[in-house]
Amino acid sequence: MIKEQYSLVNTMISYTNIKNTAHSGYSRYAFKALLTLALGTFLLGESSILRAQTDTLFWFSAPEVNRYHSSGTATNPQNFGRPVYLRMTTQDLPATVTISMPANEAYFNGGNPIVITMGAGETYSLDMSSFIENATIYGSGGLPGNINLPGSIENVLAWTSSNLFPADGKPYINKNNKGIKIKSTADITVYYEISVQYNMDLIALKGQNGLGTQFFVPFQTSNDTRSYPFAYRPYNSIDIVATEDNTKINITVPRPIWVKDVGSRPLGTYSIWLNKGETSIIPSYANNTAGHYQTSFAANARLAGAYIEVDQIEGSGKPITVITHDDLVQSRFSLNPDYVTDQLVPIEHIGTDYAVIQGVGYSAFQIEDEVFIVGTENGTSFTVKRGPAGVTTNHNVNRGGSVHVTMNNQNYRVLTVKSDKPVYVLHMSGAGRQKAGAIIPTISMCTGSNRVAFNRTKGGAYAFYLNILAWAHPVNSAIGHFTLLRDGIPVSSADDIAVENAINNHLNFNPLPETGYPFDNWQYARIDASQLTANAAYMLVNDRNVFHLGVLNGQTDNDAFYGYFSNFNKFSANAIVIQSGSSGNKICSGESLQLRATGGATYSWDPTTHLDNPFISNPTAYNITSSLTYKVTVSGACDLTDSAYIDIQVGGPITASFDADRYAACAAPPVGNPSGTPGYEFTFTSTSTGDNIREWRYQQGANPPVTFKYGRDVDPDDARTATLWIENNTDDIVEYDIWLYTTDMAEICAKEIKKTVRVFPYIGINASHTISGNANCQPLTVNFTSTPIGHSNDATYLWTFGDGNSAPTQNATNTYYNTAPPYNMIPYTAQVKIIDQWNVCRDSASRVVNVPPYLEASFTAQPIEGCSPLNVANLTDKSKGALNRTWRLYRDGIHQSTGPTPPPLNNLINTKTNNTATIYRLEFEVESSTGCHDTYSQDFKVYPNPNITLASLRATPSSTECSPLTVDYEVEGIVNTNTYWWLLETNAIDDGDIITFTPPATANGSIDLVNYTDTPVTRYFSFEATNNWGCTRTWGPIPVVVPPYI
């Protein structure tokens, strides 16, 4: 059996991850709730819903943690302000949790909220150490570190600014931007754990119970701050967070305060203005000439009893949240200091009756349990009773007054406060000499929880205690009806079951020293739960009635944690639809809803239509087809019963759908306005069914949606078709979400659909070309140039020239040929294409290039050389592509004739006498239809013929008419020859001898001719001349009659 223990304890607590899951995700814009989401069922069975500080919205700031504890010095701080954790636990529904810093969005988590998805009954530990800067917040070498490190969540006093007389008339004191907002889609419990070495505590976040407009601030006033006389000394302060812009806050302080950048300010009332997520730190003042922080160490200088009020005449009038922050509170028995902090509740959640359970002392003679009561009205009287013996003291306190009551006796196991007017109660407790603090929930009304999540991080020497205050009325007592869950299911290990048995043991519960209502209905127990496993997610559940749970974890030489995880709000039945977060909802026929009731231990829903289980707190209503109102009756909290209602309106059904003419488009200038801003006009067509009203919206990025068309069936334009011009004059893709919201005519059933369209940057191109050389003739070489238009970064180009050639460059050169019949001009179209970097948008430009026809001047003629006269008879025109022809004849370079037809070449003569050729040149020039010219020429060589002036023969017989006959031959005036001879018949003769041809022979000579016949013989003489051109001329034959020989 585990019994209540009051012996020496040397334990401490720290918390580590229950579930080591990396957070991920990004916040998304929450559109107007026009439609109801489809549901899943998330049930853990029947469960109580009066839970410890469960809520869906939490605000707080992470208080500064001094860096000098643990042997730190001004130049070498040892305490780095981390680790710190957010411990979050879901109830019987899954939740998506979003953590943000509204006044510091750009720097928190890289500009993105932290989004965590949790299952039902799950505990998630988010290590926030990476959002706490190290010792550099104090500057190197102890120098002022007043440069705000924007990524940090820590609300550091050195980073604040003050202005009591700004130009806009809205002063501020020690203002920062470190407010943290936690938003969940379902109820969760959250606490912020400071696990810094030797300086730990936890802040139980109160959710919306911690938001209000009027607060009194309790502080411990019994123990001084441990003296660390450095520039950035530990301090105590009131930390305020605004939840809305333009919030005016009036602060009445009972003692002087320190205003950074200003100095000391006296007691009195100060008005400040904060925007959403901004914070104000209000510290007590002491002169610190050697340091940066002008803050007090003295216990009696705390701002106990300060009054914080949101102005309801000026400003937003919206709630704020307040933390009492007391760093490094020193033990009265040693130098051991520790953190004392908690989040406050506004005055509407305090009461007149309280019960405080003692912590764990160092020894029977060293117990430091202190209670501080702050009055909220003048003339308040209250009675304090301690321990089973009911040791009684009576006290009076006025508005803002603070009374210190001790529990420093081992017999003072419990203390009660009974007041005639509402008061705050702060309990400073701990383990041994280590301090921690928590505000105590009132029991003057029905408060408490049916289920509380908690965990123990460190095992071993770190003891763990559960302080339980349970409803003990005999009719419906909570005692004996506790269930301990581990990881969402009943405990099964021997150690865990032992703790559960101790909690359910009636002998461990004791009555309170005060009697009468409400004290007779409550009993307390302190359970040593050190057998529980570290790093496990526990939950204490009571299915009969309510209880309050405080956890105390510590080790006297190290640290202590202390916090109450109870519901500070009074009992009342409440019922909501999870999807809407309200007591009503509009849905489409056939949809389902998750219902949720809170406030008690038992539930009964009426009617039971569509419900999966009408006797649990969170039934699902399936396939709802008609409007109806559910009533839920809640009981089991302090023996009270209450009712709540949910009104469901049903319409439809509707399906939402639409099509776009395209989903990716390329920007271009408006039609008719080439200089206008590029864009694209999309056309959207609704294909929804069952709808009567349509609203089209667009949204770009995180900007709010904008309606661009609205219409009803009864309107002239029913908005079934909508157009939207989306501009893009950038170098990047513009992306828009297009939303179609559809409802029935009564606007009950609503559906939405989103599609995304993209407009790519405008890209265009112009083209030009120039011609190299003669533009009238082919081949034609063309230089092409393209000029991009719009946003052509990283664009690609492709030229195609129309002739099969291409070039992948912005500028290019191409040579065109036109050589095939029929030799007409050919137009080629050259095109350049530009394609954007995404290979989506493209443009083209074309240039027409007229390539002239092929032109060739040519002819054939035979022969092209010969002896004079030369007869050229076979002349053929071989030209191609010619329109006009011109023939020119030259003789030895001297123009002879010109004409469209060839001149006669049948009698080309050479009259030269110097044995050289006469050159006739025939030039043939042709012209095409484009004016291109081509010329072809042919030389004709006419060689000279040999010539003589005189050739003669003289025959002289030896006797009259007798043989032999002497013939004298003679030639004069030989020209154009280099070879010549006389021939007798076919034999050459030379000076009377018959010779073999060996030119040149002599041109003159004589020969004796003999005729041995008896009759005359005729002999024939001829003269033959030839030249090196191969021309030959013969004179003769000349007959000579040779008489017979006598």
Give per-residue pLDDT as tens, 360-378. Answer: 888 878 888 999 999 999 9
The pLDDT value recorded for residue 453 is: 86
The pLDDT value recorded for residue 906 is: 93
DSSP 18-57: SS---------------SPPP------SS----BTT-EEE
Distance, in Å, from the CA atom of 66 to the CA atom of 69, rounded to the nearest integer, reads 7
- Residue 399 CA to chain centroid, in angstroms? 54
Sorting pLDDT into bands at 50, 70 and 90, what band is 556? confident
Q: 859-943 and 950-1042: same fold? A: yes
The pLDDT value recorded for residue 516 is: 95
The pLDDT value recorded for residue 461 is: 84
Task: Give 1035 or 765, the one with higher predicted confidence.
Answer: 765
For 772-805, how does the pLDDT look when each residue is reduced to its tens digit (9 = 90+)? 999 999 999 999 999 999 999 999 999 999 999 9
Distance, in Å, from the CA atom of 356 to the CA atom of 548, rounded to the nearest integer, reads 11
Long-range own/partner contacts, residues 607-614 (CB < 8 A, 24 or more apart)? 612/41, 612/43, 613/43, 613/46
The pLDDT value recorded for residue 806 is: 97
CA atoms in the 13 A half-sphere facing the CB of 431: 30
Question: Which of 358, 352, 86, 57 lies closest to 204 in space, CA to CA?
Answer: 86
The pLDDT value recorded for residue 789 is: 94
Distance, in Å, from the CA atom of 935 to the CA atom of 886, rounded to the nearest integer, reads 9
The pLDDT value recorded for residue 997 is: 43
Cβ 567 vs Cβ 441: under 8 Å: yes
Instruction: Indicate if the pLDDT at residue 548 is higher than 80.
Output: yes
Mean pLDDT of 705-724: 96
Strand order in the sheet with 620-624: 574-577, 591-598, 620-624
Neighbours of 791 (CB within 10 A): 22
- Identify the weakest region by mean pLDDT among 57-61, 284-288, 865-869: 284-288
Give the DSSP H/E element, type plus range, for residue 1025. Answer: strand 1017-1026
Secondary-structure class of domain 658-760 per CATH: mainly beta
The pLDDT value recorded for residue 49 is: 37
For 630-673, how does the pLDDT look when each residue is reduced to its tens digit (9 = 90+)? 999 988 788 788 888 999 999 989 999 999 999 999 999 999 99
Identify whether 653 is preceded by a cis peptide bond (ω within 30 of 0).
yes
Number of residues assigned to the chain: 1046
Instruction: Indicate if the pLDDT at residue 182 is higher than 60.
Output: yes
- Identify the weakest region by mean pLDDT among 457-471, 493-507, 571-585, 889-903: 571-585
Question: Pairing mode, if any, of strands 179-194 and 55-63?
Answer: antiparallel
CA atoms in the 13 A half-sphere facing the CB of 153: 30
CA distances to 91, 408, 785, 842 from 831, rounded to whole Å, are 68, 96, 11, 13
Strand order in the sheet with 482-486: 451-456, 536-542, 482-486, 489-490
Mean pLDDT of 101-115: 94
CATH 3.30.1560 matches 950-1042: no
Cβ 599 vs Cβ 634: under 8 Å: yes
For 264-315, how does the pLDDT look when each residue is reduced to its tens digit (9 = 90+)? 999 999 999 999 999 999 999 998 876 788 999 999 999 999 999 999 999 9
The pLDDT value recorded for residue 993 is: 57
The domain segmentation of the chain, as residue ranges, is 55-564, 574-651, 658-760, 763-851, 859-943, 950-1042
The pLDDT value recorded for residue 562 is: 86
Question: Pairing mode, if any, of strands 247-253 and 306-310?
Answer: antiparallel
The pLDDT value recorded for residue 3 is: 29
In the CATH scheme, what is the code of domain 763-851?
A: 2.60.40.10
The pLDDT value recorded for residue 655 is: 94
Q: What is the mean pLDDT of the chain?
A: 87
For 126-136, how does the pLDDT look when each residue is reduced to its tens digit (9 = 90+)? 999 888 865 45
Mean pLDDT of 494-498: 96
CATH architecture group of domain 574-651: Sandwich (2.60)
For 2-13, how does the pLDDT look when each residue is reduced to its tens digit (9 = 90+)? 223 322 222 222
CA dihedral 405, 435, 440, 511 (to 10 degrees): -70
- Identify the weakest region by mean pLDDT among 346-355, 394-403, 943-952: 943-952
With H, G, I as helix, E, B as strand and everything else as coil, classify residue 467: strand
Instruction: Indicate if the pLDDT at residue 142 is higher than 80.
Output: no
Distance, in Å, from the CA atom of 236 to the CA atom of 400, rounded to the nearest integer, reads 18
Instruction: Indicate if the pLDDT at residue 45 is higher than 60.
Output: no
Secondary-structure class of domain 859-943 per CATH: mainly beta
Cβ 543 vs Cβ 450: under 8 Å: yes
Within 8 A by CB and 6+ apart from 519, the residues are 353, 355, 416, 418, 443, 511, 512
The pLDDT value recorded for residue 961 is: 64
The pLDDT value recorded for residue 148 is: 61
Instruction: Indicate if the pLDDT at residue 847 is higher than 90.
Output: yes
Instruction: Indicate if the pLDDT at residue 955 is higher than 80.
Output: no
The pLDDT value recorded for residue 32 is: 29
Question: Which of 232, 234, 276, 237 lies closest to 253 in space, CA to CA?
Answer: 237
Sorting pLDDT into bands at 50, 70 and 90, what band is 807? very high
Mean pLDDT of 440-457: 88
